[in-house]
Structure 1
Amino acid sequence: MDEDALEYHKTDPPGKIEISTTKSTNTQRDLSLAYSPGVAAPCREIAAEPDDAYQYTTKGNLVGVISNGSAVLGLGDIGAQASKPVMEGKGVLFKRFADIDVFDIELDLDDPDAFVESVAAMESTFGGINLEDIAAPDCFEIEERLRDRLSVPVFHDDQHGTAIISGAALLNAAEIVGKDLADLEVAFAGAGAAAVATAKFYVSLGVPRENITMCDIDGILTTERAESGELNEYNRQFARNGPDGDVADAMEDADAFVGLSAGGIVSQEMVRSMADDPIVFAMANPEPEIGYEEAKAARDDTVIMATGRSDYPNQVNNVLGFPFIFRGALDVRTTEINEEMKIAAAHALADLAKQDVPDSVVKAYGDQPLQFGPDYIIPKPLDTRVLFEVAPAVAQAAIESGAARIELDVDEYVERLEARLGKSREMMRVVLNKAKSDPKRIALAEGTDETIVRAAAQIEERGIAKPVLIGDENEIHSTVVNLGLEFDPDIVDPAGGECEAYADHLYERRQRDGITQREAESLIRDDTNYFGSVMVDRGDVDAMLTGLTNHYPSALRPPLQVVGTADDAEYAAGVYMLTFKNRVIFVADATVNQAPDEDVLEEVTRHTAELARRFDVEPRAALLSYSDFGSVDNEGTRKPSEAARRLREDSDIDFPVDGEMQADTAVLEEMLTDTYEFTELERPANVLIFPNLEAGNIGYKLLQRLGGADAIGPMLVGMDKPVHVLQRGDEVKDIVNLAAVATVDAQDSHS
C-alpha cells in the first residue's frame, strides 16, 4: 500500500492538484481581457464595492484548507510541509464531491497568535476557511478567534466533521433501537478536539449534558480533576460530579459508546456491560477501539456498530460533511457555519439513509445490500445525492438563522447543484420538470423485477408519472415489503379480468399477420410486453417502458406490432442523448434500423430534431458519412446526401441541416466555417444522424466511453404512442429518466 501510494503521488506531475483556466485564452484579445489592460475594469469595480469580488473572481467558490501539521490523523505532529499531501487530498475531496476549488496552505507556525494573524490576513482571498489537523487545545482557540474576526465561514473539520456525521448516525441508531436521545447515556473515550466537539453537538441534538461521561487517558473527567487543573478549559465542561473510573466504568449500563481515542482499548466484556441494544461508535483510525466483528459478536441483541473504516458498514467519514456544508455556506455567502447549519446537515444525512439507495452506489460498494437498518445508518460517501440533500439544508438553515448574506429559492438551487455534476443532470431536469407538471400513467411491463419496483417507487414519489406495474400481484407486493418501500403500487395482473378483452384487441390487430385467437390469448397471458402494448394501444395507460430483462429486438417487437408507428411516420428509431461538460449531442439511429435508405434517414432526422426540442435544445442536424459534400460518390454516400437535400428543400423544416459530411466536420466549428463556408450549419451540429446501425452503435459507445459522455436513452422516436425500450442492465436512475421522457411524449401527444 505504501509503495502504491508513493507511486500515485509522485507520478508526473507530482501531487494531486493543478490550476486550470476557466475562460478562453486562445487569442491576444483573450489575454488582454484576462490580464492587462482588461483586468483593470473588475479591479475598479471591486475597489468601489468589495462584495463584487464574488461576481468577478473565484472568491465565492474558493476555500482555504489551512494547517500547521501539528495533529495529522494517525501521524501526529509531523510539521507543516509533511502535512501537504493531506491538505492536497482535502482539496481533491472538495472538488470531487462539491465542485469547490481549494488552495492548500501549510503554515510553519506553532504560535496560535501568529497562526491567527496569518490566516486573518488572507480573508480577501477566500470565501471560506477549512482548518485542518491542528492540535488541541490550540485548535479551539484558533477557530474561536478566527470566527469572531472574519466575515467568511471558518470550520475546523477535525472537530465538527466527526460530530456531524456521527450525529447523523446517532439519530438513526437511536430510532432503530427505539430509544430517545433525551434518555441516552453516552460514554466517550477521548477528550480531545473531536471528542469535545462531538459531545457538544450531541447536546445540540438532544442528549442531556449530564448524560455524557467523558474519559481521557487518565480516566473519567470529574469535577475533582477539573478543580485540580488537570483538564483544559474546553473539556472540563464535561467533567462529572462523581467517582473516578476508567472507560470500562463509563461504559457500564451506557446506551452508547463513542470512541475517539486509541485502537484496541475496548473489550467484548465492556460491550456486554452496556445497556440493551447498545450503540457502539468505535472511530479511532486505523484501528478502532474494538473491531467490528468483535463488537457484533459480544452479545445476542442488536449492536449497532460504526467505525471510521471503509471496509465495514457504517463508516463515519468526514467527506459526508465538509464539502456539502461549505457548498451550502458559500452559495448563500454565510458569515459563519453555525450550530443550526450543522444540525441541518446531520438531519439531512440521517433522512437520506432512509431512502432507496441508487444502483451505482450499491455497485461501487461491491453489490452489498444497502438498506436502512443496523448496518446502514448513514449514506455512503460516493452517493451523489448527498450534495442535493445536505447543501440545500445547510443553505436554508443559514438563511433562517440569519447567517446568510443572500437568499435563494431552494428548488432552483437544487437544479443548479445538479448542473454542477454534469450536463446530463441539467438536461434531464428540463424534462423532469415538464413531466411533473402533468404526470401520465406509464405501464412498466416487467413489473415483478426488483429494479423496476424500486424505479416505480421513485417515479411516484418524485411526481414524475403514475406508474402501473404489470405482473403477478402477490409477487410485486412481496417485493415491495422485502425492499422496505413505503409504496402502494398500482398493479395490473395479466391473470385478472382484463385478459379476455386484451386478447380480443390483440387478435383484432394481428389476425391478418398470422396470429390466431388462441395465440393472442396465450401472448396476453404469458408475455407482459404484449399486455403492456395493448394497454397503451387501448389508451388504458399513456405510455409504456419495457426491455430491462429482454434483448432489445424481442422487447421492441410487441409494441411495433401492436402500437405501430405514428401517422406521419413509417419508421421508428433509437436516439441517445450524449452530454459532455459543455455540450449536448443527439445521435440516431443506434438501435433499430440496420441499413436505412434516404427515406429512413430523412424521417429519422425529423424525429430526432423534434426530440431535441423536448429538451429545449434547438437542433442543428448533420447526416454523417465518410465523405464531405461529395468528396466520395457511391451508393453509400448518396443516401445521406439525398436525405439532407430533401430536408433543406422542405419548407416545413425550420432547423439547419446538411450533409453528407464526416463526423469531425460536423462537430468542429473551424472546419465548418473555414473549409466549408457554404454549409447550412453556421455552428457545429448537435443532432448527428449515422448512416447505418453499425456506425451508430459503434459511434455512440466510443463517444460515451472514450469521450467521457453521459448517455441517456435509447429514446424511441416515431412510435404512434409513447413506448420506450430500456437497455438490459439499466439502473433505477435510467428507468426514472426514461419514464420522464415518456411522460413528456404523452403530454405532447395529448396536446
Structure 2
Amino acid sequence: MDVIKNFKEKAASDLKTIVFAEGEDERIIKAAAKIEAEKIAKIIILADTESIKNDAKKYGVDLSGIKIIDPETSDYVSEFTDEFYELRKHKGISKEDAEKAIKDPMYFGTMMIYTGKADGMVAGAANPTGNVLRPAFQIVKTAEGISTVSSAIIMVLKDKSFGEEGVLVVSDCAVNPEPNSEQLAEIAIATADTTERLLDFEPRVAMLSFSTMGSAKHENVDNVRNAVEIAHENAPNLKIDGEMQVDAALVESVGSRKAPDSKIAGKANVLIFPDLQSGNIGYKLVQRLAGAAAVGPILQGLAAPINDLSRGCSIDDIINLTAITAVQAQSE
C-alpha cells in the first residue's frame, strides 16, 4: 500500500491552493519548489518578497509559478482586518489590534481560507501547535457537531504485518494534554472517520492503556474504559475496544492471550493514546527507532483543512502533509 503515492496522485487530480505561512523557513521554501514541480497543489507562500527571493537564490531553489504574498503590505490587509474585527469584536478587540493580528502570517493564512482565497494551510515547521491552532479556533472554528479538535498521524511501517498492511493511524499526538472520557471517545470516532475518508479501509480502533481489560485498577484506566463505552453509544457501528496495552492491540498472539474475547485485539489499525504525553512519545519512538514514515499531524474537527507540522519535520514531511491537506480540501 503506497499511501504517500496515492495521496499525491489524488491531490494532483484536482489541484487545490495551499498556504505556507512560514516562508522564512528553508525547508518550506525547498518543499514549495518540489510541490510546484510535482504539481501536487498550488502553493502560496507568506513572506517578505525580497527576503524570500534572496533566500531561494541562496538555496538554489526556483520559485517560478509560486505566489508570494507579504502579510505586512498585501492589498488584503484592509479586507482581512475588517473581517477579523467583525469576528472578534464581541471579545473587545479594537481595529488596530485586529490589523496587528492579521499581519501575523498564521492569522493572515487562516483568513485566506476563511475568505475563500485558499483551500487549506500547512504550518508548524517554525511554530508550536498553539500558534497554528489559535487563529484556526478564532477564525474558521470547529466543524459542526464537533467540540474536540484533535490530531491524527499516519504511520507507514516497514513491517507490513502490523495494522493495515503496515499502515497505522495514531491519535492524539499534538493537541489534547489530558482528555477526559468524553473527549477520548470523540477523538476515537474522529480518527476512525479520518482513517476511512483518507485511507479507504475499515478502522479497527484500540483504546490504549497500561492495562488490558481490567488487568490493572487506576483512575487513568477508568478514563479509557469509560471512553470505550461512550464511543459504543455514540458510534454503535464502529469497531472499537479497550482498554488494552499496545502489544495486545497489535500482536495477535498477545491479543489472544490478554483479550481472548476481543475482535480488535491483535488486529488494530487505529491506536488511540490515553493522553498527549504517551501519544507524542509513542509516535516519535516508532518514527525514529523503526524508521517509519510519520505523516501529519492531521488536524481533525476544524471547519477547514489546516494542518500542523512537527518542528522537526523534513522536506518530505512537508510535501506529504501538503498532499493530504489538498485531498482534505477536495472533499470540503
CA contact (8 A) 1:577 1:713 kept: yes
Match for residue 693 of structure 1 among 273, 276, 281: 276
The structural deviation recorded for 1:631 is 2.8
Alignment of 1:568-587 (within 5 A): 568-581=145-158, 582=160, 583-587=166-170
Letter paired with 1:511: K
CA distance, structure 2, for counterparts of residue 653 and residue 501 of structure 1: 45
Partners of 1:596 and 1:674 in 2: CA distance: 29
Q: Quote the Cα distance in structure 1 between the aligned partners of 2:97 and 2:36.
A: 34
Structure 1 residues 229-264: Cα deviation after superposition (integer angstroms, max 9, x where no partner): xxxxxxxxxxxxxxxxxxxxxxxxxxxxxxxxxxxx
Q: Residue type of the partner of 1:492?
A: I
Q: Matches of residues 116-515 of structure 1 in structure 2 within 5 Å?
A: 426-482=2-58, 483-485=60-62, 487-494=64-71, 495-515=73-93
Q: Give the Cα separation in 2 of the matches to 1:515 and 1:665.
A: 51
Q: How much has 1:484 moved relative to structure 2?
A: 4.4
Q: What is residue 261 of structure 2 aligned with on the other side?
A: 678
Per-residue displacement from partner, 1:401-449 (whole Å, max 9, x unpaired)?
Answer: xxxxxxxxxxxxxxxxxxxxxx7xx211121111111111111111243
What one-letter code is carried by the residue in structure 1 that aligns with 2:85?
Y
Q: Aligned partners of 1:456 and 1:708: how far apart in 2?
A: 25
Letter in 1 for 2:28: I
Of residues 205, 220, 228 in structure 2, which corresponds to 1:621? 205
Inter-partner Cα distance in structure 2 for 1:706 and 1:506: 44
Task: Name the CA distance, whole Å, in 1 between partners of 2:317 and 2:263.
Answer: 35
Aligned AA (2:157): F
CA contact (8 A) 1:480 1:487 kept: no
Q: 1: CA distance between counterparts of 2:284 and 2:121? A: 25
Match of 2:123 in 1: 546
Provide Cα deviations, 1:347-404, integer angstroms capped at 9, x if missing partner. xxxxxxxxxxxxxxxxxxxxxxxxxxxxxxxxxxxxxxxxxxxxxxxxxxxxxxxxxx
Q: Which of these residues, 644, 662, 666, is aligned with residue 228 of structure 2? A: 644
Letter paired with 1:708: G
Give per-residue Cα distances to partners, 1:145-203, cap 9 Å, x unaligned.
xxxxxxxxxxxxxxxxxxxxxxxxxxxxxxxxxxxxxxxxxxxxxxxxxxxxxxxxxxx
1:476 is displaced (CA, Å) by 2.8
* Aligned equivalent of 1:590: 173
Match of residue 355 from structure 1: none
1:726: how far off?
1.4
Q: CA deviation at 1:653?
A: 4.9
State whether residues 24 and 52 of structure 2, in contact with CA within 8 Å, keep that contact through their aligned partners in structure 1. yes
In structure 2, do the counterparts of structure 1 residues 653 and 447 end up closer, same or farther at CA, with 3 Å as the change threshold? farther
1:740 matched to 2:323? The reply is: yes
Aligned to 1:528: 105
Q: CA shift at 1:571, angstroms?
A: 1.4
1:242-301 per-position Cα deviation (integer Å, ceiling 9, x unaligned): xxxxxxxxxxxxxxxxxxxxxxxxxxxxxxxxxxxxxxxxxxxxxxxxxxxxxxxxxxxx
SS at match of 2:331: helix
Q: Measure, in 1, the Cα distance between the counterparts of 2:261 and 2:274.
A: 22
Report the Cα distance in structure 1 between the residues aligned to 2:39 and 2:155, rounded to whole angstroms.
25
Tell me, yes or no, if the aligned pair for 2:155 and 2:293 is still in contact at 8 Å: yes
Q: 1:712 aligns with which of 295, 301, 314?
A: 295
Q: Is the 8 A contact 1:448 1:469 kept in 2?
A: no
Kindly tell me: are residues 491 and 476 of structure 1, through their superposed partners in 2, closer, same or farther at Cα, counting changes over 3 Å?
same
Task: Provide the residue aligned with 1:608 in structure 2.
Answer: 191
Contact 2:254-2:266 within 8 A present in 1 as well = no
Report the RMSD for the aligned CA atoms in angstroms. 1.9
Gaps of 5+ in 2: 161-165
Of 203, 214, 237, which aligns to 1:630? 214
* 2:243 equivalent to 1:667: no
Query: Is the partner of 1:721 in helix, strand or coil?
Result: coil
Deviation at 1:557, TM superposition (A): 1.9
Q: CA deviation at 1:514?
A: 4.4
Contact residue 249 and residue 265 of structure 2 kept, 8 A: no
Residues 654-698 of structure 1, C-alpha deviations (whole Å, 9 max, x = no match): 441101111111111123334423213265211110111111112
Note the alpha carbon deviations across 1:207-247, whole angstroms, 9 max, x for none.
Answer: xxxxxxxxxxxxxxxxxxxxxxxxxxxxxxxxxxxxxxxxx
Aligned residues: 323
**CA, structure 1 residues 682+637, in 2 after alignment: closer, same or farther (shift >3 Å)?**
closer
- Alignment partner of 1:563 is 2:146: no
Determine the C-alpha separation between the residues in 1 that align with 2:7 and 2:174.
22
TM-superposition CA deviations, 1:688-717 (whole Å, max 9, x none): 101111111121122223333222221211
> Residue type of the partner of 2:208?
L
Q: For residue 32 of structure 2, what is the amino acid of its counterpart?
A: A
Aligned residue type for 2:34: Q
Q: 2: CA distance between counterparts of 1:565 and 1:462? A: 32
**Which letter does structure 2 place at the counterpart of 1:510?**
R
User: Secondary structure at 1:594's aligned position in 2?
Assistant: coil
Q: Distance in 2 between matches of 1:653 and 1:737?
A: 33
Q: State the alpha-carbon separation in 1 of the partners of residues 64 and 207 from structure 2.
A: 46
Give the superposition deviation at 1:635: 2.5
Give the gaps of 5 or more residues in structure 1.
1-422
Does 1 or 2 have the higher relative contact order (CA < 8 Å, sep 6+)? Answer: 2
Please tell me the residue identity of whatever aligns with 2:209: S
8 Å CA contact retained: 1:589, 1:693: yes
- Matching residue's letter, 2:125: L
CA distance in structure 2 between the partners assigned to 1:676 and 1:479 by the alignment: 56
Amino acid at match of 1:637: V
Task: Provide the TM-score with structure 1 as the length reference.
Answer: 0.41
Question: Which 4+ residue blocks in structure 1 deviate beyond 6 angstroms?
Answer: none
Q: Could you tell me how far apart the structure 1 residues matched to 2:217 and 2:203 are? A: 27
CA distance in 2: counterparts of 1:449 and 1:643, whole angstroms: 40
SS at match of 2:6: helix
Q: Retained in 2: the 8 A contact 1:572–1:717? A: yes
Tell whether the 8 Å contact from 1:575 to 1:716 is kept in structure 2 after alignment.
yes
- The structure number with the bigger radius of gyration is 1
